[in-house]
Amino acid sequence: MVASEMLGSSAGMGFFILQAQRQFSLPEMWSGMLLLGIIGYLLNIILLVVEHYVLSWHRLSRA
């Protein structure tokens, strides 16, 4: 999603990071990249919790 925003969009996080890079606004670029990393980490945690509850039968069947 972010990569597609970098290539063909005029709004969004990918567009923001690419524009900051093109304008040599390094603090804005790094803050956008950091925000993407935080969002990715939080989504990973959320999906691990969902997996734990939804697929608990799978974990028990392998033991």
pLDDT in tens, 6-24: 677 778 888 888 899 899 9
pLDDT at residue 29 tops 90: yes
Q: Provide the whole-model pTM.
A: 0.72
pLDDT band of residue 63 (cuts 50, 70, 90) is low
pLDDT digits (tens, 9 = 90+) for 37-59: 999 999 999 999 999 999 888 77
Q: What do you get for the CA distance between the two ends of the chain, in Å?
A: 37
Sign of the dihedral through C-alpha 41, 5, 10, 18: positive
Count of C-beta atoms within a 10 Å radius of residue 2: 18
* The predicted structure's pLDDT at residue 44: 98
Q: Radius of gyration (Cα) for the chain, nearest Å?
A: 17
